[in-house]
Structure 1
Amino acid sequence: MSAERRKYKRLPLDVSVQLECISEEEITTEKYLHVETMDISTAGLAFKSSYELNVGTFYDTRIIIWTKEEIHTVLKIIRSQKVDDGFVYGCIFIGLPERESIKIEIYQLLKERDDQESN
C-alpha cells in the first residue's frame, strides 16, 4: 500500500459546485456550469464534468456544503484527464479566505469521525 503523498488530505464530498468562467477567451453558454465533485481539501478540489475546460483557466466558484452554506472562491484548473463519460479536473483554490478553509477542515473532521464510528 502506498503512502499518501499529498500535503493536504482530500476527502470525498457530497456538495454542489458551480463554476463561472472568468477568462476573457472563454465564454460559457450558461451562467454556471454544474460539476460532480470527487474530493476536496483546503488546497483545492477534483471534479468530473462533461464540459471540456482548459488547463490554466480560472473560474469563479460557488461551493454549497453540507450545511447549505456557500464557499466563494476562485479555482484554477491545473490538470485534466479524459475519461469515458467526460473529463476529470484537478484544481487549486486561489485566495480561499481562512474562514472558508475552516469550513472544509470542519467537514474533514466530521467525516473522519463518522468513518471511525462506522468501523
Structure 2
Amino acid sequence: MDVEKLRKCRRMDLNSNIVVKRIDNGEHELITINVFDISKSGMGFHCPKILEMDAVYDSHIMIWTKEVIHVLLRIVRIEKLETEYEYGAIFMGLSEVDAFRIEVWDAMEQAAGKC
C-alpha cells in the first residue's frame, strides 16, 4: 500500500516535541513524542510508549514559530520499530488558523527549495 497516495495533503518534517493525554477513557498520562512528519491533515511521530489504534489523544504541538497548537489526534497507523513505535495520526478539530500556519510553513519550505 502506497501511504503517500492515501494522504490528503503532502507531508513535511518538523522536529518538535508534544505532550499528549488520552481523552476517550479518562487516562491523563502525559507522554512526550517526537514529530517527524506533519501536514494540515495529520502527522507522523515516534514514541517509546504503546498507544492504541483509533484512540483519541489531546495534544499540544510546539511548531517552528514556537507557538503551541492544541488539537485532538486519532491514531490511524502503528509500526513497531527497534526501540520505539512509529505512529500516524489524523488531526481532529484543527482550527483554520492553525491549518493555515502549516500551509504557510510549507510554502516557505517550497520557496527555499527544501521540498
Change (3 A) 1:62 1:25: closer
Q: Hey, what does 1:111 align to over in structure 2?
A: 109
- Please tell me the root mean square deviation across aligned C-alpha atoms, in Å: 1.7
Q: CA deviation at 1:21?
A: 1.2
Return structure 1 stretches of 4+ with deviation > 4 angstroms.
Answer: none
TM-score, structure 2 as length reference: 0.88
Secondary structure at the aligned position of 1:111 is classed as helix
- Select the structure of larger CA radius of gyration: 1
Distance 2:24 2:105 in 1: 30
| Partner SS, residue 109 of structure 1 | helix
Indicate yes or no: 2:9 matched with 1:8. Answer: yes
Report SS of the residue matched to 2:86: strand
Partner of 2:91: 93
Quote the Cα distance in structure 2 between the aligned partners of 1:71 and 1:56.
Answer: 21
**Partner deviation per Cα, 1:76-113 (whole Å, 9 max, x = no partner):** 00110101111000100011110110111111111222
Give yes or no for the alignment of 1:19 onto 2:20.
yes
Return the letter of the residue paired with 2:19. Q
Shift of 1:69: 0.7
Residue 54 (structure 1) shift: 0.5
Q: Which amino acid aligns with 2:52?
A: N
* Count of aligned pairs between the two proteins: 111
Please tell me the residue identity of whatever aligns with 2:8.
K
User: What is the distance in 2 between the residues matched to 1:61 and 1:25?
Assistant: 14
Gaps of 5+ in 1: none
Match of 1:42 among 40, 44, 49: 40
Shift of 1:25: 6.2
Q: TM-score, normalised by structure 1?
A: 0.85
- Report if aligned partners of 2:48, 2:85 keep a CA contact under 8 Å in 1: yes
Matching residue's letter, 1:17: I
Q: Please report how far the alpha carbon of residue 53 of structure 1 lies from its aligned counterpart in structure 2 after TM superposition.
A: 0.5
Q: Share of identical aligned residues, percent?
A: 32
Shift of residue 66, structure 1, vs aligned partner: 1.1
For structure 2, which runs of at least 5 residues remain unmatched after alignment?
none
Distance 2:8 2:35 in 1: 20
